[in-house]
Structure 1
Amino acid sequence: MAVENQPAPVTVTATRTVAPATNRCTLATFDLPYITFYYNQKLLLYRTPAAAAAFPDAVARMTAALADALRVFYPLAGRIRQVADGALAVEGHEGAEVVEAEAEGVSVVDLAEGDCAEEAERVMQHLVPYTGVMNLEGLRRPLLAVQFTKLKDGLAVGCAFNHAVLDGTSTWHFMSSWAELCRSASGAPSVLPIHDRSLARSVRVRLDLPASAEAHEKTDPNGPKKVLVARVFSFPEATVGRIKAVANAALPPGAKPFSTFQSLGAHIWRAISRARGLGPSDITAFAVFADCRSRLNPPLPAAYFGNLIQAVFTGVPAGMLLGGPPELAAGLLQKAIDEHDAAAVNRRLEEYEAAPKLFHYSDAGPNCVAVGSSPRFKVYDVDFGFGRPERVRSGGNNKFDGMVYLYPGRGGDGGIDMELALQPEAMQKLEEDGNFLQQAAA
């Protein structure tokens, strides 16, 4: 969320490429819908020793480990190619881009504690590479870019991953493996990735790609993107438990209980719909990017490297959502998630293969709440040798109106952090919503 006409607080000091050997893999149907999304950005903030040599030593060690990691997670070192039949594949060994930068006027605490500060948001956008870069740029750019930024009292590790190549599960598998290699001299991570994408789908799909991100955005029938603001709301473990208990309180004996995600998702969906001031007949949708590894028949292990997610939608008039009890919303989410079984997954794949589409964010609808990431991802276990991160955040990419990213609470006590992008007026109303804020402290 950059502020115009202000000097950038970060100065880039070096850029280079880190590459392994040549390999190839064809993108599966699961991967292709994300070609017109943007690079998936993650930011990890660490405290490091204040010695002058600490930053270059840390960068040298992490860069060497990155080269080892890319030998194992080799798709991230290639480029996307469109082969003769129009299918997309990843091949080559051009490598990942590594950037070094300095922001010595910025401290870790400024960023880790400043979730709602406009200045902190502005600075964080300079700590993550490839803001505004669409995944189709992977035909010309690296599929992974890493920025190491020296802070006043620590190190910021900003990563940009081409989302057409991997999902959240694979992202954090890579990050944890990279950190593991940085801490040890084994040369290989303890859990190896599975690169055979034919295990998920072997159908080859022809895509007619636009010339550029700008060319694609011009085809959006709903016009330019809206101005958004981002905030983080933290739900302590006790609050999460209370929300879940309220959602389950009215269930009859023997009914399937609502999960933590379904209960919290219902709470978030209702609160955002109130903040948007939706009318009773306005349809509001909830979408969750569900991991399909365990839904396939046969299921695939978590180590499958690629995209195995699909957006699971449910919709309802706002009057029904807000006029009904919390268990109504939670029940809608539970039903949609439970019904997305192997047959439903295959139907979605077949529909896409029959009529491939280049998506826009606005395809989700004007009143959508969409949830990505997961509090199950062990993002705070990514230790490069100087301890757990002080904070994990997303960058500015892929934050459309109503986009939610869920992370485990930074305290490691079972809480959940919610990172949300909304239009300014709706965000202000949400922050003033007593029912929402009595359970979530910003």
Structure 2
Amino acid sequence: MDSILVRGGGPLSGEIPISGAKNTCLKLMGAALLTDEPLTLTNVPRLSDIGTLATLLASLGVEVARLQEGVVMVLSARQLTSHTAEYDIVRKLRASFNVLGPLLAREGRAIVSLPGGCAIGARKVDLHLMALEAMGASVELREGYVHATAPGGRLKGAEIAFPFVSVGATENALTAATLAEGTTVIRNAAREPDTVDLARCLSEMGARIAGAGTSTITVEGVDRLHGTTHAVIPDRIELGTYMTLPGICGGEVECLGGRRDLVDAFASKLEQAGLLVVETSRGLKVARDGERVRAVDVKTAPFPGFPTDLQAQMMAMMCTADGTAVLEETIFENRFMHAPELIRMGAQVDVQGGHATVRGVGRLKGAPVMATDLRASISLILAGLAAQGETRVARVYHLDRGYEQVVAKLRGVGADIERVSDNG
């Protein structure tokens, strides 16, 4: 197992290229199951989660080719050889569960293991199953697997009203509805850029979708979809992560390929904290105007609200802010597991249920810490950049799931950081 060594220093400056969006790419890959023609994806991030889903798709009979050093992926589901997504693969990646909708729509049947992924809460799949049952699917849970069939081999259009916003359930319903007979209306739908990009790709494949990006999506089912070439949007979570660097370390960083519309709520909070956020012809430029950022309160919410996947990074920035900030987590339970590790570095954080109160200190101190999940991993690295001395972040295999070439990108703006083997 590897660790990341970070030595806190002065301001960071330079350019950081933003990779394709992991969460978007995973759902786009699943859409390849809906057609017997090739789906070509460009701007693909080179991450372990992408490899995990590629392995799962290959187990179903999808031919997967990685071109141009992995940045281009061609997926061909000409003839599926299996309709079972096995536990050994699905347990590693929660997004794998989103092959359920496409498989059921294309094959009329699917057997998919209950999902895994980061340990940040229960994250049940009830809404996924509710949506598919509304479309006529027969669903049973047996020995840790979802067994779903479409009577007559085809799903039916339906009215689906989610009691609360669920990105995964919206996307499973959306993909399933593309090949369903009749019209499907999804109410209280997710509005995330990932969902909008998935709908855009499906439309390019011949789907008839209206309302993506709003709370009501309407899908007119078609008999078949065809292949297409589609560019994955920039990763808004990676973008937001690197936008915090000037707030934590000082300096000026330009995030190449970044777009304000992907992170507007987050960018607004950075501006409230005293950072300058400027759109350029190449992306987003962020700079710190002053010695310390100001403390700001944050409440996570579905898009277009403040992203839960940027809460840990914001906490790292608030650890050295001027004043006291309250962070409220409304999406997932157990998502303050990075707080005890930040406290080891001298942060003053008090967690009570879904609220974390952060009292800014003048300087953190380097310490050995341990990552508990993907976003916690990067928050500890960010904190290390603001700390005096050396910080060693263990269990960084989480990072490989969601951040491409993080060490190289941070070195590129002047960070003193390296990846080391714990065995070496």
TM-score normalised according to structure 2 size = 0.24
TM-score normalised according to structure 1 size = 0.23
Q: Which has the higher strand share?
A: 2
